[in-house]
């Protein structure tokens, strides 16, 4: 790769959650919705796309705006936002983008001749009599469409089911004709909602939202956000529209369920809703998902983790990391941005980001400026006990560390290689309105370890970067 790969994998000032990754030709394309930094609501910006060579997941290229929310005839004034989309290549070789506008219960479709060109409105998914899907008697509201094309047929999935809502039975699938709009096989239930679930294990992880579909050899993998909401779960079947069986959790954006470096039930990041999918890129499999920043639900960023699909078809849950698609640990020396923290927590245990901006008792990843400003991300609101964690590094002969910090605080940063491990260095910091470097000697054991940076003292401090020497 040209450089190391981090999480999040896009620029720190970009907020594109709900990722659906696809390989077309020799590039992988990242499609998703588009949050607005410091917003009070989800998905307020137009769809954009990024792509990278399949052999270099550190080299993401901005493809520009591929579809505007005003391009839909039902949204000429732009008052509705574009929710999570999906893309498939149709039988005619063109690329079809499926999406839902908020406050609408139908599925819209746009089309383009290339994977990341300018998509043009194409139509609405409809029954044979012309009634839009979602508006016919018996239809359930559409949400988060997922699509998979095989031959002349396209399978379309979607739904949104709150844990106690008995009016929605689960996620459903329809089959579309080769025109990519007309339903030729009516809706069938793929996974039930929680009130209608019978399997006790699945009932704890029943379908909530974020439908996604992939085929691995002869097996269909239905990836979804469960009623836990912070986790991406999956079910498998040998048939695209029936007989799906719950298999487990792939990733959780607060690392609940991971017990390798903490207790399984302990959150190590401030999670929130989740959406993504799995994809094979060359000879490796990955899960794409999103994390929450800015102490809110509405500034989300895409991340990647490498996964393993075992011979029995299961996918062991993976932990959040800073090295993502790097193919291994990060080099244990050099300058690193603070916003690549994969763990972030304080003395107050909290599994979720707040609906309002969290107060200064909770650390958060944020940026200066407004939405679209190319300002570097950093960790702020670090009060006593606040900890940022970075995984993993291959350390060798480390003797010094420098932190770039600012803020109204007086105390010290402590350096560790375990969440509550031995303090390897203490770096005093003081009140300052500008970013100031603070350096201290440190002896980090050689080998592959995490790096934890914990603040102790008064006030709040922000962390921009750290340099290991």
Is 120 annotated in the active site? no
Please choose, from the candidates 335, 377, 365, the residue with its C-alpha nearest in 3D space to the C-alpha of residue 466. Answer: 335
pLDDT of residue 2: 86
Complete domains list, the chain, with CATH: 20-307 (2.115.10.20), 330-468 (2.60.120.260)
> How, if at all, do strands 108-112 and 120-124 pair?
antiparallel
Instruction: Give me the catalytic one of 35, 71, 209, 414.
Output: 209
Please choose, from the candidates 84, 242, 214, 212, the residue with its C-alpha nearest in 3D space to the C-alpha of residue 150. Answer: 214
| 26 alpha-carbon distance from chain centroid | 23
Per-residue pLDDT of the chain (469 residues; tens, 9 = 90+): 789 999 999 999 999 999 999 999 999 999 999 999 999 999 999 999 999 999 999 999 999 999 999 999 999 999 999 999 999 999 999 999 999 999 899 999 999 999 999 999 999 999 999 999 999 999 999 999 999 999 999 999 999 999 999 999 999 999 999 999 999 999 999 999 999 999 999 999 999 999 999 999 999 999 999 999 999 999 999 999 999 999 999 999 999 999 999 999 999 999 999 999 999 999 999 999 999 999 999 999 999 999 999 999 999 999 999 999 999 999 999 999 999 999 999 999 999 987 554 556 799 999 999 999 999 999 999 999 999 999 999 999 999 999 999 999 999 999 999 999 999 999 999 999 999 999 999 999 999 999 999 999 999 999 999 999 9
For 431-458, letters b (16+ CB in 10 Å) and e give eeeeeeebebebebeeeebbbbbbbbbe
65 within 8 A of 82, measured Cβ to Cβ: no
For residue 150, how many other CB atoms are within 10 A of its CB? 12
pLDDT of residue 360: 62
For residue 308, how many other CB atoms are within 10 A of its CB? 10
Is 71 annotated in the active site? no
State which H helix or E strand residue 200 sits in.
helix 200-203
With tokens 């719950």, the residue in question is 246
Instruction: Give me the catalytic one of 14, 18, 319, 414.
Output: 18
d(CA 69, CA 412): 47
Can you list the positions of beta strands (E) in 161-218? Answer: 170-176, 183-192, 207-216
Token pair of 162 as six digits:
């709150």
133 within 8 A of 106, measured Cβ to Cβ: yes
Convert the pLDDT of each residue in 295-310 to its tens digit. 999 999 999 999 999 9
d(CA 74, CA 312): 46
């Amino acid at each position: 790769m040209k450089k190391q790969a981090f999480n999040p994998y896009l620029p720190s000032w970009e907020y594109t959650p709900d990722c659906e990754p696809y390989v077309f030709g020799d590039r992988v394309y990242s499609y998703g919705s588009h949050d607005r930094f410091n917003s009070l609501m989800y998905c307020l910006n137009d769809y954009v796309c990024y792509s990278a060579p399949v052999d270099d997941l550190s080299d993401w290229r901005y493809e520009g705006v591929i579809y505007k929310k005003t391009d839909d005839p039902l949204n000429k004034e732009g008052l509705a936002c574009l929710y999570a989309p999906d893309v498939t290549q149709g039988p005619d070789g063109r690329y079809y983008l499926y999406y839902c506008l908020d406050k609408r219960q139908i599925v819209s479709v746009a089309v383009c001749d290339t994977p990341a060109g300018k998509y043009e409105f194409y139509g609405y998914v409809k029954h044979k009599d012309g009634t839009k899907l979602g508006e016919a008697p018996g239809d359930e509201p559409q949400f988060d469409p997922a699509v998979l094309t095989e031959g002349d047929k396209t399978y379309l999935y979607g739904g949104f089911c709150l844990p106690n809502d008995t009016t929605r039975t689960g996620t459903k699938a329809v089959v579309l004709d080769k025109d990519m709009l007309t339903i030729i096989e009516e809706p069938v239930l793929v996974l039930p909602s929680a009130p209608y679930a019978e399997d006790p294990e699945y009932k704890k992880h029943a379908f909530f939202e974020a439908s996604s579909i992939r085929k691995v050899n002869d097996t269909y993998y239905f990836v979804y956000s469960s009623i836990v909401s912070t986790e991406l779960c999956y079910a498998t079947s040998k048939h695209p529209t029936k007989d799906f069986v719950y298999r487990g959790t792939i990733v959780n954006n607060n690392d609940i369920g991971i017990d390798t470096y903490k207790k399984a039930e302990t959150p190590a990041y401030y999670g929130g809703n989740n959406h993504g999918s799995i994809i094979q890129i060359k000879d490796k499999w990955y899960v794409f998902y999103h994390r929450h920043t800015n102490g809110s639900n509405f500034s989300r960023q895409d991340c990647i983790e490498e996964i393993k699909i075992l011979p029995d078809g299961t996918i062991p849950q993976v932990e959040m990391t800073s090295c993502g698609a790097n193919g291994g640990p990060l080099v244990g020396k050099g300058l690193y941005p603070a916003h690549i923290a994969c763990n972030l927590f304080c003395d107050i245990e909290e599994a979720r980001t707040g609906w309002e901006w969290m107060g200064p008792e909770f650390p958060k990843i944020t940026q200066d400026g407004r939405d679209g400003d190319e300002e570097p991300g950093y960790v702020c609101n670090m009060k006593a006990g606040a900890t940022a964690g970075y995984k993993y590094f291959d350390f060798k002969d480390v003797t010094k560390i420098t932190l770039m910090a600012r803020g109204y605080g007086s105390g010290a940063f402590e350096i560790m290689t375990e969440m509550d491990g031995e303090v390897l260095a203490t770096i005093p910091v003081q009140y300052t309105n500008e970013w100031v470097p603070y350096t201290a000697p440190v002896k980090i054991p050689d080998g592959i370890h995490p790096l934890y940076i914990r603040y102790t003292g008064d006030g709040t401090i922000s962390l921009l970067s750290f340099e290991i020497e």
